[in-house]
Amino acid sequence: PRGIVCPGPQDQQCMSRLSHTSSPQPRPAPLPPSSVLTLVCCSFPPRCSASTAKSLLFRFLPFLRWLPRYPIKDWLLGDIISGFSVGIMHLPQGERRGLLAVPSWLAYALLAGLPPVTGLYSSFYPVFLYFFFGTSRHNSVGPFAVISVMIGSVTDSLVPSEDFLESVNSTNVTMVNEARRDAARVELVATLTILVGVFQVALGLLQFGFVVTYLSDPLVRGYTTAASVHVLISQLKYVFGISLGEHSGPLSLFTTFIEICQKLPKTNVGTLVTAIIAMVAIFIVKELNHKFSAKLPMPIPIELITIIVSTGISYGVNLNSKFGISVVGHIPSGLKPPMAPNIKYFGQVVGNAFAIAVVGYAICISLGKIFALKHGYKVDSNQELIALGLSNFLGGFFQCFAISCSMSRSLVQESTGGNSQVAGVIASLVILVTILKIGELFRDLPKAILAAIIIVNLKGMFKQFADFRTLWKSNRVDLMVWIVTFVATLLLNLDLGLGVSVAFALLTVVFQTQLPHYSILGHISDTDIYRDVVEYKQAQEVPGVKIFHSSSTIYFANAELYSEALKKKSGTNVDRLIEKKKKALKKLKKRQKQAEKEKAKRQKVLPRAATIRALCPAPPLSSGAAEGSMPAEPTLRSLGLPVPDFHTVILDFSPVNFVDTVSIKILKNVRKRLGEQRRRPPATLQKASQMPHWGRWDSGRLPHFPRARGSL
């Protein structure tokens, strides 16, 4: 059989460039300086001009491009209303449309294991800085629950409370010195946040915005679902009013849960009752908000109401001293001076910093692209990395922890009329007023109230367990990614779990390319369409032709499988036929030698004429050749072997993006086995530059066709 390569629907003129030719290939035209000059390109134009400097400045500071053209009459009022709405949401924030958003800056700090005021700082500095560097008009950046939990795991492991136990009045009673512990944790997290910013800025400068593509939707949803379990377990100690040891590392989630179960008899009844009442009230009102959303002018701010009422009751009744209910405590007012990072922590937090940088960016760019597509503008993925990185880097000097983007705040910013980053500036000013004047009012707020708000708002995250059923029906490979991500994040914590999840997701891609779907294509009558003859009854094989299709590219991991699948799908084991042919030829040669010996022996006894008459009527072979004689060109039919029902093999290369040296050898062997004369190796248009490295094929060349129809 002959072998024909069909690279798929490509342009015939471009295909001709793949053929052997003695004429030199034209050099590509040099790129203009505007396309050569990139953010981190090592080759700059021969001279720096004012326009080039201006272009770079506008790229680093996008607000210089859009702010002079800001339509004040059309956008300003909406941005002011939106900014105030989002600023208020930073104080009591809920959850909408499935993504988690912790309901207050106090709760964010609680998740991160930090003093409450750091939540305010993280809601002010990064939001204000994003105005200058960000490209998304609707993203509301700030603290995010998953990032806060990842930071909390770092603070618990590197600065545990046990390191700050002190004796009380020279007695055997010990207590945690919270002031010293909080100061050490703030120093650690500030260093971590600065390192997160360094990673994000570096990735942005190196044009690594595409790195988020390795975080598939099943991976992100499985990861955030597992993170919600971490959040739930971390809040149970505030619900039951018990104190726990600090656990970190793999399996720390389970050791924490076991300790909670062991200390349930020590539950503070007042704290538990407070948390239950708050959870029931918040849940009922949020359900009513959802049910009557079309009739209500705005959702009932149940979180804000709960915080105000519980703070008033706690202050009036003195819940802390009378019932032992833990409260937020003193919240310092005013802004803090910048502090330098502690470089001794760099080596300890570098892995966590990279994981936080990637996860925070992935969430932010995903939301940014959603809003950009909806409103018809473009988000620069690399500039978003730089914007987040600078917000984190500079914010780290002012006691902020790493930030990302919240879906609920972003939706409010969009739905209330926000049109630009000006809304973010307004929101940051609302937070600034809170830092300077209002923060101290939350001193008597019970921590159980914050835990109740967080747990109720986890409902949307736990709904993602329904992905199991959906993915089971649609794509079980994605289901495996979801399950492995979820389990790994539960067992190994958020940092190691992310690494394992990404590695497993990449392995699934490798396995899917290593084990692609192979098929024989058939022609659908009255069309130029060719489809799998097994899946489509209308597709009929072309008589005498096998069109072999692989759903993946050909490379070293699946080259052997490609060859084996070709044998199986064509219905002919070429290797076995060749082996049988060799045996038949060997047997034929043996019979020929035996006949020659018999002939020589008879010539000694019989006359020449008699010898000839005796040898001529020898019984014929099944192929029609005389016994003992070698056919001029032995064929399968002449040797009595089964003949394949096809005469031509077409290799459909439409999904093939590249081929390596291993696959070239396999394809050479396939061509040789099929009996094709020495010809040129198959190629695709995208990798025509590899042709000179594919070796010499002596004479002739394997024909190429842009479409299967042309090859027929």
Cβ neighbours for 456, distance < 8 A, ≥ 6 positions apart: 279, 282, 283, 286
Residue 88 in this model has a pLDDT that exceeds 90: no
The distance between the two most distant Cα atoms of the chain, rounded to a whole number of Å, is 137
Q: For 149-153, 281-285, 586-590, which range has the lowest pLDDT when averaged over its residues?
A: 586-590
Instruction: Reply yes or no on whether the pLDDT at 187 is more than 70.
Output: yes
Give the dihedral of Cα atoms 217, 223, 225, 228; nearest 10 deg: -140
- Could you tell me if 428 and 124 are in contact, meaning their C-beta atoms sit under 8 angstroms apart? yes
Predicted confidence (pLDDT) at residue 312 exceeds the cutoff of 50: yes
Question: How far is the C-alpha of 302 from the C-alpha of 449, rounded, in Å?
Answer: 12
403 has pLDDT over 70: yes
Mean pLDDT calculated for residue range 437-464: 82
Dist. CA 525–CA 527, nearest whole Å: 5
571-579 average pLDDT score: 66
Segment 359-386, tens digit of pLDDT: 889 888 878 887 888 888 888 889 999 9
pLDDT of res. 34: 39
The pLDDT of residue 359: 87
Confidence of residue 230 (pLDDT cuts 50, 70, 90): confident
Q: Which one-letter amino acid corresponds to residue 45?
A: P
Confidence at residue 15, expressed as pLDDT on a 0 to 100 scale: 38
Percentage above 70 pLDDT, the chain:
76
Over range 100-108, report the average pLDDT. Answer: 54
pLDDT tens-digit profile of 472-510? 998 889 999 999 999 998 998 877 888 899 899 989 988
Rounded to 5 degrees, what are φ and ψ at 703?
-65, 140
Mean pLDDT of the chain: 77
CA distance 41 to 612: 87
**What are the chain's domains?**
96-158+175-241+266-457+475-493 (no CATH), 515-574+643-711 (3.30.750.24)
Res. 156: pLDDT tops 50: yes
Residue 701: per-residue pLDDT: 52
Q: Which of 15-29, 47-61, 161-175, 629-643 shows the highest mean pLDDT? A: 47-61
Using DSSP's 3-state secondary structure scheme, residue 652 falls into strand
**Has residue 623 got a pLDDT over 50?**
no
Note whether 204 and 389 are within 8 A (CB).
yes
| Mean pLDDT value of segment 49-72 | 86
414 or 35, which is more confident: 414
Spatial CA neighbour of 232 closest among 159, 145, 326 = 145
Place of tokens 């506008």: 58
Q: Summarize pLDDT for 523-566 with one digit per residue, the tens.
A: 888 887 888 888 888 888 888 888 888 888 888 888 888 888 88
Q: What is the pLDDT of residue 706?
A: 56
Structure-model confidence comparison of residues 398 and 231, the more confident one? 398
Q: Model confidence at 16, in pLDDT bands (50, 70, 90)? A: very low
pTM for the full predicted model: 0.66
**pLDDT tens digits, 628-686:** 455 555 665 556 666 666 778 888 888 887 778 888 888 887 777 666 433 333 333 33
